[in-house]
Amino acid sequence: MQSEMAKDAAAPEKSPMELLQESKASVEAIIARMLSIKKQGNPKSENRELLTQMFLNFINLRQANRAILTEEEKVKSETELAKSPMDFTALQLHNLMYEKSHYLKATKTSREFKSKYPNIDLISEQAFLRDAPEAIKSQTLSNDASHDLMLKRLNFELHQRKELCKLRAKLEQQKKFLLETNAERSKFLSSLPLHLKSLKKASLPVHSQLSLPNPKKIKYHNLAELLPPPLYVIYSQFMAQKEAFEENIDVEVSGSLKDAQTYAKQQAEQRLDDNDEDDDDGKRQRKRAKKECCDEAGLYKVHPLKIVLHVYDDDEISDPKPCKLVVLKFEYLLKLNVVCVGTEESEDGPEGNVLCSLFPDDAGLEPPHQSAKLTLGDNHAFDESRTSRPYKWAQDLAGIEILPEMSRFLSGKDTQKSDTASASDQRNVQTVLQRIRSQRKSKLNPV
């Protein structure tokens, strides 16, 4: 035994794998020896020596295993040390590839970029040499002459943009100041009507003391200039009646001033067109026929302005607030050339009983003259659903002459002319107002 150990000591050191293989083979041999002793029935004293050898082999196995693990750890450490430079180099390569792709992408984007203002180019060389300051032209930015010139042009462009930014800031400041000034003025203008109203109210006593014209009256006079001739005749007659005889009435002109001005402008243009087409009668007739066909639906088209007549009780002149009997509205039908009258009070019905009974045989249910009947058609029916009607006395007030449909010589009635003349004479402003007051009072105070 000692001799074997001495041999092992004298032998060169074995590697862990060789020691592991030898220990494994020795253990296998010992186990085979122990099995053969058991089969042959030899004394068991030999097993003790074999067990000792087996334990020594186990110790060698553990030693070899420990050496293998130690060597494995050493190899791992060396591998990690060798892997770190390689990982660093790989990371640098990855970064370089990423930067390369980024630069390639940026270059492609710059080449394919389309400006919002494609027609605006960099300042020309002539303009740069003429307008650029000496501080920019005297710089040396590159050894290449063309590249140096391009850099200088870009610097001059940047200089101009900075100057424009300063100018914009200055203009923004001016704009802010102007907005604040406009806000203050708008605030003053918004409060101006209230001040004017109070000033007007305070000046009323002086206005009445000096007998100055009423502003409302001036307004109505200005509107009256846009009235059609029939309504203007009615307005002038009622105003003359009020001023001459101090009639207890109020006359107003209501409606859209803008629409009236537009209509007056259209009428003036139409008259000019008619004068230009006097030489071409056939063309003018076709044009008028076309207009008439288009205006069939507008037979009852009303002029934008109306006359509103307030009739007060003449027995209460001394009362500062006299009783208002009725309010009449005069309107002019453009297509039919008639004046229609209606009341504002709904209790009188849509036609107004007061107006229907002013004069005999004048209920306002049929057109007053032959041209209106021809325009309306064969049935000669006037729209009874309208709140105003074409009374004959309204046509007389408007100065619209109504000729009889048949001559008195053909009808055999000599008195027709005189009867018609007397009826027209009775339909004047004073008679109409008297009968309106009489009818209205009789209705308000029935016997």
Q: And the tokens for 153? A: 């042009």
Residue owning tokens 């002149």: 317
Residues 335 and 439 in one domain: yes
Residue 351 pLDDT:
43
Residues 136 and 199 in one domain: yes
CA–CA dist 91, 88 (Å, integer)? 5
Residues 161 and 283 in one domain: no
Residue 422 pLDDT:
55
Residue 292 pLDDT:
47
Residue 276 pLDDT:
66
Residues 225 and 268 in one domain: yes
Q: And the tokens for 396? A: 């007389």
- The residue from 52, 69, 86 where one domain ends is 69
Q: Residue 112 domain-assigned?
A: no
Residue 347 pLDDT:
47
Residues 208 and 219 in one domain: no
Residues 398 and 433 in one domain: yes
Distant-in-sequence contacts of 155-158, Cβ < 8 A, 24+ apart: 156/123, 156/128, 156/131, 156/132, 157/122, 157/123
Q: Which residues of the chain are under the pLDDT cut of 70?
A: 1-13, 42-45, 117, 207-208, 210-217, 276-297, 316-321, 345-353, 378-380, 404-426, 446-447
DSSP collapsed to 3 states, the chain: CHHHHHHHHHCCCCCHHHHHHHHHHHHHHHHHHHHHHHHHCCCCHHHHHHHHHHHHHHHHHHHHHHHHHHHHHHHHHHHHHHHHHHHHHHHHHHHHHHHHHHHHHHHHHHHHCCCCCCCCCCCCHHHHHHHCCHHHHCCCCCCCHHHHHHHHHHHHHHHHHHHHHHHHHHHHHHHHHHHHHHHHHHHHHHHHHHHHHHHHHHHHHHHHHCCCCCHHHHHHHHHHCCCCHHHHHHHHHHHHHHHHHCCCEEEEEEECHHHHHHHHHHHHHHHHHHHHCCCCHHHHHHHHHHHHHHCHHHCCCECCEEEEEEEECHHHCCCCCCCEEEEEEEEEECCCCEEEEEECCHHHCCCCHHHHCCCCCCCCCCCCCHHHHHHHCCCCCCCCCCCCECCHHHHHHCCCCCCCCCCHHHHCCCCHHHHHHHHHHHCCHHHHHHHHHHHHHHHHCCC
CA–CA dist 247, 239 (Å, integer)? 9
Residues 255 and 354 in one domain: yes
Q: Residue 76 domain-assigned?
A: no
Residues 218 and 207 in one domain: no
What domain count does the chain have? 3
Q: Residue 75 domain-assigned?
A: no
Residues 157 and 286 in one domain: no
Residues 271 and 397 in one domain: yes
Residue 229 pLDDT:
92
- The residue from 212, 230, 251 where one domain ends is 212
Counting residues of the chain whose pLDDT is more than 90, the rounded percentage is 23
Residue 290 pLDDT:
45
Residues 222 and 183 in one domain: no
Residues 250 and 327 in one domain: yes
Domain coverage including residue 8: 1-69
- The residue from 24, 46, 69 where one domain ends is 69
